[in-house]
Amino acid sequence: MNLYNTLTRTIEPVQPQHAPEVTVYTCGPTVYDYAHIGHWFNYIRMDMLIRTLKASGLKPKWVMNITDVGHLTSDADEGEDKLEKGAKREGKTAWEVAEFYTADFLECTKLLNMLTPAPIVKATDHIAEQISLIEQLEKKGFTYVIDDGVYYDTAKFPHYADFAQLDLDEQQAGARVNVNPQKHNQSDFALWKFSPQDTTRDMEWDSPWGKGFPGWHIECSAMSMKYLGDTLDIHTGGIDHIPVHHTNEIAQSEAATGKRFANHWLHSNHVMVDGQKISKSLGNGIRLQTIVERGFTPETVRLHVLESHYRSQAKFSWDNLEAARNRLQDLQAMAVLRFQVREHASDGTSFSFQDVGTQLANILSEDLNTPAALAYLSEVATQISEVLLWRKSLPYFEHMLTQLDEILGLKLGEVSDISADQKHLIAEREAARNKKDWQAADTVREELIHQNIGLRDTDQGVIWYWLQARV
């Protein structure tokens, strides 16, 4: 399997340290608010990585974190902790806010048919590991203490700027206001923040340096290395994490262990909503629940995400989502052919189902090329839908659907059959057509359309399909 590696800026083979096991860490959500469509593009793409690794014969060991403390509103380690801010907004404790939005996030991952990382780990459950990692950095001389916390001295790590190709001199000179004049360098970041003396926080812990809470970056290093080892095979996240969060992860992890932190870095690009970046001021951070309330299934959302490459800047719009629904409808029309088998094959009705899953996996193994995978699948659906299945080929067809669902997660194998009464209506229409009673046939067809069932007349007989994408 080949993937673009942010570390080298090239597409390279994935080479696990202990194949077939491949270790994968994904930066998860900060649970102070609902996840929006931009987040879901990222997480569905990460889910597709895991599915493709599996389809390529590897065994992913996948860990995702939940940031429930330490993520400040500013990359300069200033401002409120986002969980504390959420607590003030909602009149709850930070713990209650974290619990509520964590539950909502996990429920949405189920709706989107995402695989479940094992484990999903919370920052607040790993305070001891984060303190221990800071102590290691302190012993090696990478930290210093100022009034508001313990900081990492980026000047002590010569390769700090390499990963994001930062210009630190320009960054230092371009800082109009050094919000914390005690920092040695503009790029230095907090490992541990002290609790304000005049404030009681919901989330704070004792530490060798005083009562406080961990910085955002230290959690990912501490937890990923605890569960996956000092060097990860693949680290994933959003492209916006490259210049700060992931750069800081590398600096603190490699300073502590003396080893490369991750061999492969995969980043998901931004999502534009109706031509604009997602922002609170624009109110375009659309929730999954809002999309479902507009009549779109989670499977439609999932397919829409797959229509763009993870390294491209995706464009979400309601029109694009409608187009995705139509595309899913076509794939589901193929899937329901398993309910319409014929006892014997007719000339020209053969199709080899055995190689479809393998071919799909091969396409995806080239840098997760989901648009090419969907284009191939659309071609397959067109060819299959030209004919009716015969019973002998049904097991192969159903196995193909299972493979497609394992790889793409679109639940094609779960699309329902029509009812016995609806099948009876189709038979009535066929009888009317045979009698050339076109008015009666049209009346039945209209009734079926009212029930969300479309019909396609072929030389081999009528083929029905659902008019709206559904599961």
Number of CB atoms found within 10 A of residue 31's CB: 27
Tokens matching residue 259:
């080893």
Tokens matching residue 392:
């002998």
Q: What is the b/e burial string over 372-401, where b = at least 16 CB atoms within 10 angstroms of the residue's CB?
A: ebbebbeebbeebbebbbbeebeeebeebb
Q: Delimit the domains of the chain by residue range.
A: 2-268, 416-471
* pLDDT tens, per residue, the chain with 471 residues: 999 999 999 999 999 999 999 999 999 999 999 999 999 999 999 999 999 999 999 999 999 999 999 999 887 788 889 999 999 999 999 999 999 999 999 999 999 999 999 999 999 999 999 999 999 999 999 999 999 999 999 999 999 999 999 877 665 554 544 568 999 999 999 999 999 888 788 999 999 999 999 999 999 999 999 999 999 999 999 999 999 999 999 999 999 999 999 999 999 999 999 888 887 667 788 999 999 999 999 999 999 999 999 999 999 999 999 999 999 999 999 999 999 988 766 554 556 888 999 999 999 999 999 999 999 999 999 888 776 788 888 999 999 999 999 999 999 999 999 999 999 999 999 999 999 999 999 999 999 999 999 999 888 789 999 998 776
Which ranges of 82-197 does DSSP label H, i.e. alpha helix? Answer: 82-90, 94-111, 127-139, 168-174
Cis peptide, bond prior to residue 395, ω within 30 of zero: no
CA 150 – CA 183 distance, rounded (Å): 10
Task: Tell me if 415 sits within 8 A of 332, measured CB to CB.
Answer: yes
Q: What is the b/e burial string over 127-137, where b = at least 16 CB atoms within 10 angstroms of the residue's CB?
A: bebbbebbbeb
Task: State which amino acid sits at residue 68.
Answer: D
Residues in the chain: 471
CA 370 – CA 383 distance, rounded (Å): 20
How far are the Cα atoms of 13, 71, 149, 201 from residue 197, in angstroms, in the given order?
51, 20, 12, 10
Which residues does 289 contact at the CB level (< 8 Å), separation at least 6? 34, 108
Matching residue, tokens 């902790």 = 81
CA 127 – CA 131 distance, rounded (Å): 6
CA 215 – CA 151 distance, rounded (Å): 9
CA 250 – CA 27 distance, rounded (Å): 14
pTM for this prediction: 0.94
Greatest extent of the chain over all pairs of C-alpha atoms, in Å: 91
Q: What is the b/e burial string over 141-151, where b = at least 16 CB atoms within 10 angstroms of the residue's CB?
A: ebbeeeebbbb
What per-residue confidence (pLDDT) applies to 172? 57
- Which segments within 123-224 are labelled E, that is strand? 143-146, 149-152, 189-194, 212-214
Q: Give the CATH fold of the 2-268 domain.
A: Rossmann fold (3.40.50)
Nearest to 76 by CA among 244, 195, 209, 211: 244
Task: Tell me if 120 sits within 8 A of 109, measured CB to CB.
Answer: no
CA 447 – CA 444 distance, rounded (Å): 5
